[in-house]
Structure 1
Amino acid sequence: MEQPSKLKNVASPVSTGSAGSDYEHRVAAYYLAMALLRSVPLGQEAGIAREVRFQRLYEGEPLDDLIIISDLPTGEAKLALQIKRDLTFGVRDKAFDEVIRACWETFKSPKFALGIDRFGIVVALYSKKIDEHYKSVLAWARNSDNATDFLSRISKERLSHKAQRSFVKLIRTKLDSYLGRSVSDDDLWNFLRWMVILRLDFHQDGSEAYTSIVGLLRYLLPPEQMTESPRLFGQLVAYAAEAERAAGSFDSSTLRQRLITDGFALLPDPNCREDLSRLQEHAIFVLGGIRTDIGGLVLSDH
């Protein structure tokens, strides 16, 4: 009897790296969509996404995968991100060490606007511990008046979870090693305040992130072409791959023009910059109309 031939070994896309590249391009396409939609980008709490920049190490950006620029009424905000399909948050993990070092260098850069800019990591896969406890550490840091208040609350066993304390210890250990000395409590607190850990599950078909962004892109298309939104997202993925290879960038206007040239019929672009300007003018008007006295009694503004 003829022996069946042995099956040829086929390497997994994950092991060959193509899955990681595909994931990065989809995450980048997600942020291109945010710029196109003129939405608040994931990772920022305010601002309207305007531009996405790729591979900016040559400009001195340690977190160089993506730089997202957003418009604020008073200027602009920057979100610097490293994209990892999977990342182990461990003291001996080389990839984690490289990412946190890049985060630290971003945080200490003279170009980093404290209180406005953000930096961090986008991952597809992470544990419940990261989702429930590590991310909550960042929220606690942002909701603390100062380093003493933050570290005091984190250190209390009945108030915080041991996983929260473990994460703070892990980050402190990493920062100590980069500095060659003990990091100050203020630097540790501020580092955690402006760090973000984001999850976008583009590693699997029909994911929540994919469904959400494709649903939003429908509103850029005429009613009779709304079913074209998956193809529109696919085109953004292609643009992201191209921009990554060229260390390029797209802003909302050039992105729209490129899509129109490539055959997409987009609805008119709402000018969100004008909206921001009008909002600022309205705020000034309202504040100017607030009385500071009642019957001759002057009210303090403190």
Structure 2
Amino acid sequence: MKENLSLVSSISTGAAGVDFERRIQAFFIIQMINGGYAPALPASTITKVICQGRNHGFNTDDCIVFTSDENKIEHKLLIQCKLSITISNTDKEFKKTMDAAWFDFSKNNSFNRENDKIALVTGALSKAYDGLLEILRDIHTEVSSDVFWEKYKGIGFSKAAKNKLDIIMESISQANNNVRPSEDEIFAFLKIFYILKSDLHEDVLARGGINLSLLQTELNNQMYSYVKSPQDIWNGLRTCLSDYNRLATPIELSNLPGEIKELFKRVARTNQPQEYVPRQILDTAIKEKLISSSYKKELVLLSILGGIDQKNQSDMQVIEKFNITLSTLQELQDEDNVMFTDGIWKIKTDRKKVVEQLGKKIFDKDIDSFKAIFLQILSEIDTSLDQSENQKQMMGLFNKKFQYSKTLRIGIANGVALVSNNEELFPNCSRMMIRNASALSVRELFADYRNINLWANLNDVLVPIAEICPREFLSNVKKAFEHKNNPFIELANNYKADVLFSTDYLSSFRSALSDLAWDKDYLGESALLLAKLAELEKHNDTYNHHYALTALIETFLP
């Protein structure tokens, strides 16, 4: 087996499968917030959830759940999500799942055999697999390897179930460089390996969905009530997870992001004593309160910028252009309107909610300033493609160094997208001014559309950039594809699935085109460009690249 698989973005792996993956991730975040447990692990508190664990050193990577027991011992559940899977020697998805699981078990120093587990979570597993699941349950409770193998070689299990188990053991041998591990080693692996069935892909009202129904009952429990409905919390959390999958950002109980806190805002029921209210979420406002601040203009400006890194001098120079000083940020923190964590300043509530209340503080000159800052920050060129192969791999490992922080880069891209798609929230701005600034921001950013380093530089922000002005974005992509020095050819060739830390510079590009394709006005152009991209990437030995297109097409099939 290859020592490690390539870093990936879940967004490019297909619409139905991605939605199932996000539902599983959302389930564990709700369990974390509500004090629930993780299956396969001992009773313990969930402390952290990571979406896309590959970027954190795990091969079984769709979701990593961290827990802490009463003795403060850490346990991890490594999860691979497959909406459907066939346990077969010829099934590529099953082989990749077992390759990843065996690598984490046998070679990953971050995996503790005593405390950690690996789970394949699937939404579709027929009754033909019930015997196999029974064998695995037996192994999980069996103390002795000798006792298990005695039952296996005797009449303890059905022939059909043993055949499925044989396929798993054969896949382990293939993952182990075609060398069959010892019986003790196979037993040790099977003892930490789980196959879990989930119906979270089934919508509650449409087709039943017992697990999701129970989850929504939990969100509507009797000790407190949420401001938002269970369905709104569920849908909102899945939406939030788009960014957390793209950025592979850990979500920790001790430091929940503002947008997730906003979803889980809750209050005690009127007939419950206050001391009985669970304390994980401290925000108890019943309805949206009016923003009270002596710095309303600065607050709405910061909400559009997205956030800044106090340790980054270039970030500080940007906010100074908007007359925001460190003392202003500290005042806003005292007013409980912004938060300061690990050197990062961000607003505490949802950015759009701030704009909804304070958008009237923004004028045409501010729109022009945002355009200038947008171009200044995102025009910075990443030259990693000019490096040697080894240098490129190391840059992928240690992250590229830009003049401006990642917080501000991603923040300003999303902020300008927020402005361009919500003209009505800025009553003191000319709508024509907003539209022109949006179009020119994208047009001028891609003035040198043939520059491969420009596209590589924008890999982490292409989705919001495409939303700023889809027509301009698609126009520049089309021109780049038609040029004799098509930059996407080299970007596609740069990615090597079998090279450790090889960067997939087109992951965000696929996501941007896929998102635009859901708008009927852009469906044709986006689908055509996805097809051209798939043609460029056909040499890559990975299933990710064509799924964005196939998932889109399958949506329209009967």
| TM-score normalised by length of structure 1 | 0.77
How far did 1:160 drift?
A: 1.2
1:233 Cα deviation (Å)? 1.6
Rounded to whole Å, the distance in 2 between the matches of 1:88 and 1:257 is: 40
Return the offset for 1:141.
1.3
Residue in structure 1 matched with residue 126 of structure 2 by the alignment: 127
Name the counterpart of 1:238. 239
| Other-structure match for 1:21 | 18
Is contact 1:38–1:252 with CA below 8 Å preserved after alignment?
no
From 184, 209, 214, give the equivalent of 1:212: 214
Mapped partners of 1:262, 1:212: distance in 2: 19
Q: 1:263/1:103 Cα in 2 relative to 1: closer, same or farther (>3 Å)?
A: closer
Once residues 36 and 263 of structure 2 are traced to their aligned partners in structure 1, the CA distance between those partners, rounded to angstroms, is 23
2:161 counterpart of 1:164: yes
Partner of 1:151: 149
Kept in 1, the 8 Å contact 2:227–2:267? The answer is no
Q: Which amino acid aligns with 1:113?
A: N
* Structure 1, gaps ≥5 residues long: 1-15, 272-302
Letter of the 1:231 counterpart = D
Displacement after TM superposition at 1:62 (Å): 0.6
- What SS class does the counterpart of residue 196 from structure 1 fall into? strand
Task: Indicate conservation of the 8 Å contact 2:98/2:175, yes or no.
Answer: no
Q: Distance in 2 between matches of 1:30 and 1:169?
A: 32
Distance 1:26 1:103, change over 3 A: same
Show the 5 A alignment for 1:244-255.
244-255=245-256
Instruction: Work out whether residues 50 and 251 of structure 2, in 8 Å CA contact, stay in contact via their aligned partners in 1.
Output: yes
Q: 1:244 to 1:89 in 2, by over 3 A?
A: same
Partner of 2:327: none
1:196–1:253 Cα change, 3 Å: same
Counting only pairs closer than 5 Å after superposition, residues 63-142 of structure 1 correspond to structure 2 as 63-74=60-71, 75-108=73-106, 109-130=108-129, 132-142=130-140
Q: 2:48 aligned with 1:47, yes or no?
A: no
User: More strand per residue: 1 or 2?
Assistant: 1
Kept after mapping to 2: 8 A contact 1:54/1:65: yes
Amino acid of the residue matched to residue 87 of structure 1?
A: I
Aligned to 1:187: 185
Separation in 1 of the partners of 2:38 and 2:181? Answer: 30
- Preserved CA contact (<8 Å) 1:218 1:227: no
SS across alignment from 1:170:
helix
Q: Which structure is larger by alpha-carbon Rg, 1 or 2?
A: 2
Deviation of 1:255 (Å): 3.1
The structural deviation recorded for 1:220 is 8.4
Q: Which has the higher contact order (CA 8 A, sep 6+)?
A: 1
Distance in 2 (alpha carbons) for counterparts of 1:34 and 1:247: 19
CA displacement, residues 124-161 of structure 1 (integer Å, 9 cap, x when unaligned): 1111122x21221211112222221111112222x211
Between the aligned partners of 1:69 and 1:220, the Cα distance in structure 2 is: 27
Is 1:178 aligned to 2:179, yes or no?
no
Partner amino acid for 1:162? K
Q: Please identify, of 214-223 and 132-141, the stretch whose mean Cα deviation from structure 2 is larger.
A: 214-223
Instruction: Identify if the C-alpha distance between structure 1 residues 269 and 241 changes in structure 2 by more than 3 Å, giving closer, same or farther.
Output: farther
1:137/1:144 CA distance change after superposition, 3 Å = same
Deviation at 1:54, TM superposition (A): 1.2
Classify 1:115/1:270 alpha carbon distance in 2 versus 1 (closer, same or farther; 3 Å).
Answer: farther
Distance 1:263 1:138, change over 3 A: closer
The percent identity for this pair of structures is 21
Secondary structure of the corresponding residue to residue 123 of structure 2 = strand
CA positional deviation for 1:86:
0.6
Secondary structure of 1:70's counterpart equals: strand
Distance in 1 separating the partners of 2:211 and 2:98: 25
Pair 1:202–1:265, CA change in 2 (3 A): same
Cα distance in 1, alignment partners of residues 37 and 95 from structure 2: 29
The structure-2 alpha-carbon separation of the partners of 1:221 and 1:254, relative to structure 1 and needing over 3 Å to count, comes to: farther
Is this contact kept in 2: 1:50–1:71, CA < 8 A?
A: yes
Q: Distance in 1 between matches of 2:264 and 2:37?
A: 27
Q: Deviations over 1:74-97 (max 9, x none)?
A: 311000001111111101111100
**Number of matched residues?**
253
Q: Work out the CA distance in 1 between the residues paired with 2:93 and 2:43.
A: 30
Please, which of 25, 29, 32 is the counterpart of residue 29 of structure 2? 32
Matched, 1:265 2:278: no
Over aligned residue pairs, what C-alpha RMSD do you find?
2.2
Q: Which amino acid counterpart does residue 208 of structure 1 have in structure 2?
A: I
CA distance 1:262–1:137, change in 2 (3 Å): closer
List per-residue Cα deviations over 1:46-88 (Å, max 9, x = no partner): 2121111011212220111100001112311000001111111
- Does the C-alpha gap of structure 1 residues 81 and 111 become closer, same or farther in structure 2, counting only changes over 3 Å? same
Helix, strand or coil at the partner of 1:86:
coil
**Whole-angstrom distance in 1 between the partners of 2:264 and 2:149:** 55
One-letter amino acid of the counterpart of residue 173, structure 1: E
In structure 2, do the counterparts of structure 1 residues 231 and 208 end up closer, same or farther at CA, with 3 Å as the change threshold?
A: same
AA of the residue aligned to 2:210: E
Decide whether the 8 Å contact of 1:137 with 1:192 is kept in 2: no
For residue 125 of structure 1, give the secondary structure of its aligned residue in structure 2.
coil
Counterparts of 1:263 and 1:36 in 2: how far apart (Å)? 9
SS at match of 1:50: strand
